[in-house]
A and B are shown apart, each in its own frame.
Chain A
C-alpha cells in the first residue's frame, strides 16, 4: 500500500468553488468577513479558517485570455518537510495508512515561521489567538469511515479525484497524454513528491506562484525547496508512505 492521493485535473476546473464551500461545511469552519477586491477569489488567501481556496488568475497570451483556476490545498507531501521541521511530538501526524499529514492542537507549541518556511507550497496558517496551525487533513475522519474527502464529492466536472495512489498516478498519466494533444504545455505538478497531483493546461506559474515547488526559491535555512525534498529522504520516485 502506497496510501492515498488526489488527482486534480485543472483543465476541467470551472472554479465553481463547490469544493471550497464543501470543505468549510464539513469542517464547520466559520466564514470570514470579506470584501470584493476586483476578483471572484475570496477570501483573498488561505487562513486558519480557510484551508482550501480556489485561486483565479488572468493571463493574456498571444492576445488571448487565459483565466486559470487553481483549487489550492495542502499537498500531503510524500515526505512532508513540515513534519521534518516539527519540534513537538504529536503536533503533526503522518498517517501511515493514507499518507495524510494531520496537524493537531499541539502545533500551537511549534514555531509557526519555521513550519511555514519549510512548506514548498506556502500552505500552513496559524490562528493568531491560539497559535494553533491548520491546513487540510485529507478529511481523514471521512476516510476512516469509507468516505472520500468532502471537496472531491462536491466536484461536478471530474476535476477532483481521490483514491489509491497507484490508481491516481495512473489516471494522471493517462489524462496528461490526452490533454497534451490540446494543450502542448500541459504538465503534472510534482507528481512524485506530493499526494495532490495537479494537471495543468499551461505552465504552473500561470496559475499561482506556489502551485509548483520552485527549485530557484531563495534558500530557507540554507536549502532550496527542491533541496528540502532531497534532504528529507529524496523519496521522489519511491512514493513510500
Chain B
C-alpha cells in the first residue's frame, strides 16, 4: 500500500477491483464503512457478486481477465473528457516528457521485440534528452511525441464499445463506473483502489496495476489522504517478506540480485545506480551503493563489502523462465533439483497447477516440510495418481511454533512493522522458525568447515552468530541487524557515532563498510531510542488526528512515512490541495503532518523522489512488457481475437511449452477462477484444523450460474469434480451461440447452485489418516 488501512476512511470513492475485500480482508471494511458513512461511493468490479458487491453502491460484473479493457477505457474517458487534475499532471508526472522518436507500437507489440527470447530491447522507449542530460519537456503537452499525446494515441482504441465487448459490461455501466471514479480528479477529492490477487495473478498482472497507477496519477490521487495504490496482502507478513525480498530477482530492500557478468561490487553498483543531471531531482536511488554495501556487510561483518560481494550468488539472466516460482517446479519435474525446503508453504495445494507440483516433488531425493501441521506437501506421495512404492523422495517434517509462540515483527499491508511479544511457550518438540534456521545454518557451516567444498567461504565467513545470543536465536538481534549499526567509529554529516551504535536512519548509511544494514528501508526501525516497531502510543497532532494518522504507533517504512509520495499532495508552495484532509503542509519554516518525502523546502525538489527524473511515470520505459499497459487475453481464454490488436496474448508472458492451453477449446466452455473464502486462510493448513471454521465452510465448492443449460452444466460439473476451480458465470463474449447469458440475464449469477462437492475436507483427512478429526461430535 502507498497508504494504509486506516487511511481508507478518508476516501471519496473506493474502487475495489481484483479483490473481494469484504470477505478476504474483513477488517478493511471497518475503514471502508467509515468512508461510506461520510458519503464515499463504493464500486466493486469483479466477475462474481460477493459480500463486497453486496455492500457496494455499484457492482460491475466483468469477464475475468478483461481488466485492461476496462481500465484502458477509463484512461481514455479521463483524457477525452479532460477530467485529469491538470496542475498535478503537469508538475508531478512525466506527461510532458518527450519520448524517443524511434518509439513505436504496432498491432499489439512495442518496438524492440525479439520473438526468440520473448523480451524487449527497451532502448527505443527512452526519453529525449536536453544537452544538459535532463529529459526534454513540452509544458503545453501538445508535442505528438510527448507522453500525454502518446497516451491519447495509444488508448484511442479503448472505446466504450470495445470495453463493453470484451468485459461484458454494458456501456451504461461503464459510463457510470468511469464518471463516478473520474470525479475524484480534483484537488479536494480522493479516490482509492483496493486490489489483490484478482489483479496480480494474471499474465498482465503488472500492467493491471500500472494501468490503475496511471489513472491515479492522472486524477492526482497519489500521495493524498484517501488515495494511493493499495495492494491488500493476503497474509499478515507478506509485505514484510516482500520487503525482505524472498523472490529470486531481488535482495532485501528491493536491491537487485547480482548477475554473473557483474564481477565486482563497483560494476554491480554502476549498473543499478541511476544518474540524473537534474539538480531538482532527488533521485534517491543514487544512494544505491550505500545500501548494497551495508546489506553485504550485515551478512559478512568480518569482510569488506567489495570482497564479500563475491559471496553473493549471481544469476545468469533475469528471466523468469529460469528462476521464478513456476519455473522452480518445472525444473524440479525434470530432475534438476535434489532437495526442497517447503517452509511455511503448501505448494501441493496452493499452486495453480498443483498436480504438476506434486509430480515434481516425486523427483526429489529429499523434501523438508516445515509447518505447524502436516499438510498435502508433506504427504504428496499419498495423493492422487501417486504410487508410494516407486517414489524415492524422503520426506522430513519439522514442526514449528505458531505465531503467538514466538517474538518478532510482522509488516502489514500498510507497511507498518509491528512487534509482537511471545505468548505461550512453543509446544514440546516444536521450535520457532528462526531457531530452526539458525541451528540448520550452524550445522551447514560446521560441515563446510570440516569437509570443505567447492566454494566454502560464503558459508564459512557468514557472521551467523550476529543473530544469536549465547548460541540461541535472538529476534531482537535480527531486528537490530536489519536496522543496522556502525561497524567502527565514524563521522557522518558532522555527527560522530561509536562502533556498535545503531544507525539512526538510512540517510546515515555508508558505502565503505563502516555501516551495516540488513535492509535499508527498515533503517530507523530499531535505533538507540529502542524498538520503534514495539511502540503503542496513540499521541497525534490535531492535523494527524484529522486523517487517522498515528505516527507513534508501531513504525512504518520508510522513516515512519505513512503516506508515500506525499509531496504530491501539496502545490509547489507546499500548500495542500485537499484543504479538508491535508497529509503534509509547509508552515513557512518546516513541514507539519506526516513525515514528508524528503525535508527540502517546497518547490525545490520534484515530488517523486524514488524516480530517476523525479516524476510519476505515466510512461514507464523500464517495464518488461511495455511502457504503456496493453490489452492481452489470458493464456487460456474463450476468444480467438480481440478488438485492440492482432496480438492475442502477452508476448512476454512466461509459458511452458508442454503445458496445454485451452484457447477457444469447446471442451472447456467455462471461464473459471479460483477464490478464497473468509473462513479459511491460505491453503487452510491452520483453519481446516479449527472445528468452528470447518463448520462454517465445510467443503470446497464450485459456483455456477443457473442460466447455464443443464446438460452443459452437469457435464462441466463432472469434469470439475477433480479440478480445483470454481466457475463464475460472467458473460463470455464468444462462447457458442445460445450458451452465453447476456449481461442483463447474467446478473443473478450469485443465485448459484453448489455443484460437485468434490473434496470433502473431513473425508479427505480421514482418508489420509490425519489424526485430528476437525468436527467434534
Chain A residues close to B by CB (< 8 Å):
12, 14-18, 20-21, 24-25, 30-40, 42-43, 58, 60, 63-69, 156-158, 178
Answer whether residue B388 sits at the interface, using C-beta atoms and an 8 A cutoff: no
- Are the CB atoms of A156 and B30 closer together than 8 Å? yes
- Are the CB atoms of A69 and B747 closer together than 8 Å? no
Most buried by A among B22, B27, B695: B695
How far does the alpha carbon of A37 sit from the alpha carbon of B696 in the complex, in Å?
Answer: 11
Query: In the complex, which of the residues A32, A69, A158, A178 contacts B695, with contact meaning CB atoms closer than 8 Å?
Result: A32
B residues near A42, Cβ cutoff 8 Å = 695-698
B residues near A68, Cβ cutoff 8 Å = 54
- Are the CB atoms of A58 and B22 closer together than 8 Å? no
Q: Closest B residue to A16 by CB, please name it.
A: B26
Q: Chain A interface: which of B205-213, B341-349, B400-408, B749-757? A: B749-757
Answer whether residue B777 sits at the interface, using C-beta atoms and an 8 A cutoff: yes
- Are the CB atoms of A25 and B692 closer together than 8 Å? yes
Query: In the complex, which of the residues A30, A31, A65 contacts B747, with contact meaning CB atoms closer than 8 Å?
Result: A65
How far does the alpha carbon of A35 sit from the alpha carbon of B759 in the complex, in Å?
Answer: 11
- Are the CB atoms of B30 and A38 closer together than 8 Å? no
- Are the CB atoms of A33 and B757 closer together than 8 Å? no
Within 8 A of A (CB), among B25-54: 26-27, 29-30, 33-34, 37, 49, 51-54
B residues near A64, Cβ cutoff 8 Å = 747
- Are the CB atoms of A38 and B754 closer together than 8 Å? yes
Within 8 A of A (CB), among B685-723: 691-699, 701
Answer whether residue B776 sits at the interface, using C-beta atoms and an 8 A cutoff: yes
Query: In the complex, which of the residues A38, A65, A69 contacts B49, with contact meaning CB atoms closer than 8 Å?
Result: A65
How far does the alpha carbon of A36 sit from the alpha carbon of B695 in the complex, in Å?
Answer: 10
Most buried by B among A32, A64, A66, A68: A32
Query: A68: shortest Cβ distance to chain B, in Å?
Result: 8
User: Beyond A24-B692, A30-B776, A31-B691, is A65–B678 a contact (Cβ under 8 Å)?
Assistant: no
How far does the alpha carbon of A120 sit from the alpha carbon of B750 in the complex, in Å?
Answer: 31
- Are the CB atoms of B776 and A178 closer together than 8 Å? no
Chain B contact residue count (CB 8 A cutoff): 43
How far does the alpha carbon of A36 sit from the alpha carbon of B754 in the complex, in Å?
Answer: 8
How far does the alpha carbon of A133 sit from the alpha carbon of B694 in the complex, in Å?
Answer: 25
Answer whether residue B55 sits at the interface, using C-beta atoms and an 8 A cutoff: yes
- Are the CB atoms of A40 and B697 closer together than 8 Å? yes
A residues near B752, Cβ cutoff 8 Å = 38
Chain B 743-777 near chain A by CB (<8 Å), digits 1 or 0:
01001101111100100001000000000001111
Q: Please provide the 4 A-B residue pairs with the shortest distance between their CB atoms, ordered closest to farther.
A: A31-B691, A31-B695, A38-B754, A67-B54
Most buried by A among B51, B693, B752: B51
A residues near B53, Cβ cutoff 8 Å = 65, 67
Chain B residues close to A by CB (< 8 Å):
22-23, 26-27, 29-30, 33-34, 37, 49, 51-55, 59, 677-679, 691-699, 701, 744, 747-748, 750-754, 757, 762, 774-777
How far does the alpha carbon of A156 sit from the alpha carbon of B34 in the complex, in Å?
Answer: 11
Query: A29: shortest Cβ distance to chain B, in Å?
Result: 8
Q: Closest A residue to B701 by CB, please name it.
A: A36
- Are the CB atoms of B694 and A31 closer together than 8 Å? yes
- Are the CB atoms of A17 and B751 closer together than 8 Å? no
B residues near A24, Cβ cutoff 8 Å = 692
Query: A30: shortest Cβ distance to chain B, in Å?
Result: 4
Q: Closest A residue to B33 by CB, please name it.
A: A157
User: Beyond A15-B51, A31-B775, is A36–B37 a contact (Cβ under 8 Å)?
Assistant: no
B residues near A14, Cβ cutoff 8 Å = 22-23, 26, 29, 51-52, 54-55
Q: Closest B residue to A23 by CB, please name it.
A: B692
Query: In the complex, which of the residues B27, B696, B754, B776 contacts A156, with contact meaning CB atoms closer than 8 Å?
Result: B27
How far does the alpha carbon of A16 sit from the alpha carbon of B679 in the complex, in Å?
Answer: 8
How far does the alpha carbon of A156 sit from the alpha carbon of B751 in the complex, in Å?
Answer: 27
Q: Closest B residue to A60 by CB, please name it.
A: B748
- Are the CB atoms of A34 and B698 closer together than 8 Å? yes
Query: B717: shortest Cβ distance to chain A, in Å?
Result: 13
- Are the CB atoms of A35 and B777 closer together than 8 Å? no
How far does the alpha carbon of A63 sit from the alpha carbon of B34 in the complex, in Å?
Answer: 28
Query: In the complex, which of the residues A16, A18, A35, A58 contacts B757, with contact meaning CB atoms closer than 8 Å?
Result: A35
Q: Give 20 pairs: A residue, B residue, CB < 8 Å, sorted on A.
A: A12-B33, A14-B23, A14-B26, A14-B52, A16-B51, A21-B696, A24-B692, A31-B691, A35-B699, A36-B697, A36-B701, A42-B695, A58-B748, A60-B748, A60-B751, A65-B54, A67-B54, A157-B33, A158-B34, A178-B37
A residues near B49, Cβ cutoff 8 Å = 65, 67
Query: In the complex, which of the residues B29, B33, B696 contacts A20, with contact meaning CB atoms closer than 8 Å?
Result: B696
How far does the alpha carbon of A68 sit from the alpha carbon of B55 in the complex, in Å?
Answer: 9
A residues near B33, Cβ cutoff 8 Å = 12, 157-158
- Are the CB atoms of B754 and A37 closer together than 8 Å? yes
User: Beyond A67-B49, A178-B37, is A18–B695 a contact (Cβ under 8 Å)?
Assistant: no
B residues near A18, Cβ cutoff 8 Å = 26
B residues near A60, Cβ cutoff 8 Å = 747-748, 751
Q: Closest A residue to B695 by CB, please name it.
A: A31
